[in-house]
Chains A and B, each alone.
Chain A
Amino acid sequence: MLHGLTLGAMYALVAAGLALMLGVARLINFAHGEFFMLGAYVFWFGYSELGLPYPVAALLAPVMMVAFGIAYQRTVIRAILARSWHVQLIATLATSIVLTNLAIIVLGTQPKEVPTVLSSRILDVGGFRVAWQRLLVLAASLVIFWGLHRFVSRTRTGRAMRAMSQNREACAVVGVDVQWTAMVTFALSAALAAIAAALVSPLFNIFPDMGTTLTLKAFAAVVAGGFGYVNGAIAASFLIGLIEALAGSYVSYAYKDAIAFLIMIAVLLWRPQGLFGRRIGI
């Protein structure tokens, strides 16, 4: 089902960023969904308020969120990076609450609509109808994942990220710039979430609470895929997206949101270390 794949792509982009941070920087970031939410609002601002063309506005979102991600890293993250993950979880959860409610105060509760040309034009193939935007989401995410893979395996920074996720102490000894690599990972993570937002917002709408459920589902995907293993998270995300769409269409629409977690719980019961085991590294 195409819709399930589109949903899965959205979850995957968000979960990949989460998994990267977990794998490389050992960081639990409960405020990740807010990167998505803020990215969506930046996109809306660029597209609706400033009237920028779609590709420009769509790229504005990750650019701004990279800047925001770096600022976030220098303030909050630096303070909690060395602390226990309990502290990390609660601190980032607190940040998520602050960001979401500030968004409500500043931007208001009324959802924003950002329809684009592609989201209004429908492709009709023998009765099967889908907005072009959905195809864009799928295509763009495949391109992005391919790019991510190349980055991690071919470039120096990418290899440094892999090294850090496997053995952090050895990296420092060998001369890998740990700080820089961590920052790049963070920026990448924020950018992925923002691009997902720019791709998906025209299909749905934008409101301050949109990040919270997404964070939870992304975590479900990351845990089910094997903590910190990016490809695992991506695979689990597509699985969740597909099953959610299918279950919503054929079983029960009301319980749809619980599906992601039921899948995760089922996976964990069967393999407590996640689908792909205790894979070291991203």
Chain B
Amino acid sequence: MRRAVWLVLCIVIVAAPWLVAAAVPRQQRYVLHVLIFTALFAALALSYDLVVGHVGSLSLAHPAFFGVGAYAAAILATEARWSFLADVVAACLAAAVVAALVGVPLFRLAEHAFAVGTLGLALVASVVANNWVQVTRGPLCITGVPKPTLGPLAVTTLPAFYWLAVAALVAVGLLYQGLTTFRLGRAFHAVRDNEPLAAAAGIDPLKYRLVAFTIAAGLAGGVGALYVHYLSVMCPEEMTVALTVNLLVIVFLGGVGSLRGVLVGAVLFTALPEVLRLAPTWRLVIYGCLLLLVVIRSPGGIESLLPRASR
């Protein structure tokens, strides 16, 4: 039964461009555009959940890593003319390196200080992106980032980019599953649930937190690179603290620590506003209220409200 559901879901996802073209022919480009954003946001949220959900560190620095990756890819693609795959890899590495560097001092801090410290990092990164005009062009943005090319294939049409985004999401999802199960996953959860006990059992909390933090940052950087190649521009506004708020909503609304929950959260978060078509300020009010209710009433998110289907 479950296999069948999975199979159908996979077919729907792969065939989406044709299904959308058939269902809403006049709006298909817009719908695909929303789906691409959804896939990219879902991947970003999964990377964030690694840190928040599985290692239990409330980091608020994710926009900084997304931004580092995005700018790295944008600059390498426009100034140095690197190929798509090369600049995506470079973006992941750059973000991961930054995370490793700041992670060491940050994780020495007590929990509250850690959160505020990561917030400070995100803010400083945002201010630097906006003002270091020689490198990032500041508010004038980096423009003209070319469309991705995978060897002989050029990803220029919307359906092509959709499949690329979905492929990326699948890759991130598989990595997420792999990291959060088996011994590594158990170690992460031990650190999250009972740090002193974990330490006593020989699991170094600092090391495991840093590992999760760095990998998550690398993934965020990769998503940033994809984002930049899709939009062909990168501006400092894309990496503000507001991005953290969006990620928090997705992760907590959907279900922190759960693959399915985060995916559901991402779909709801990106699709719902399009359906509701509310004024942007009201949209934020509703997000805030939803987040408040969810975090108070059912911090497990929607995932915890669904019947416990054994995975």
A254 near B110 (CB under 8 angstroms)? Answer: no
A90 near B252 (CB under 8 angstroms)? Answer: yes
Tell me the chain B residues, 255-289 only, with Cβ under 8 Å from chain A.
281-282, 284-285, 287-289
A257 near B119 (CB under 8 angstroms)? Answer: no
How many B residues face the partner with a CB closer than 8 A?
36
Report the separation of the CA atoms of residues A117 and B282 in the bound assembly, to the nearest whole angstrom.
37
Shortest B182–chain A CB gap in Å is 26
A87 near B296 (CB under 8 angstroms)? Answer: yes
A94 near B289 (CB under 8 angstroms)? Answer: yes
Report the separation of the CA atoms of residues A105 and B281 in the bound assembly, to the nearest whole angstrom.
7
Tell me the chain B residues, 8-59 only, with Cβ under 8 Å from chain A.
58
Say what secondary structure dominates the interface of chain A.
Answer: helix
In addition to A98-B292, A258-B123, A268-B105, 14 A-B residue pairs with Cβ atoms within 8 Å of each other are A28-B112, A85-B111, A93-B291, A97-B245, A98-B285, A101-B281, A101-B285, A101-B288, A222-B116, A227-B112, A258-B128, A268-B113, A272-B109, A272-B110
Q: Contact flags (1/0) for B179-195 with A, using CB distance below 8 Å?
A: 00000000000000000
**What residues make up the interface of A, taking CB atoms closer than 8 Å to B?**
22, 28, 76, 79-80, 83, 85-87, 89-91, 93-98, 101-102, 104-105, 216, 219-220, 222-223, 227, 252, 254-255, 257-258, 261-262, 264-265, 268-269, 272-274
Shortest A108–chain B CB gap in Å is 11
A258 near B291 (CB under 8 angstroms)? Answer: no
Shortest A69–chain B CB gap in Å is 17
**What residues make up the interface of B, taking CB atoms closer than 8 Å to A?**
58, 105, 108-113, 115-117, 119-121, 123-124, 127-128, 130-131, 241, 245, 248, 252, 281-282, 284-285, 287-289, 291-292, 295-296, 299
A90 near B123 (CB under 8 angstroms)? Answer: no
Chain B residues whose CB sits within 8 angstroms of the CB of A89 once the complex forms: 58, 115
Contacts A80-B296, A269-B105 hold; do A258 and B110 have CB atoms under 8 A apart?
Answer: no
Chain B residues whose CB sits within 8 angstroms of the CB of A101 once the complex forms: 281-282, 284-285, 288
B120 near A93 (CB under 8 angstroms)? Answer: no
A272 near B108 (CB under 8 angstroms)? Answer: yes
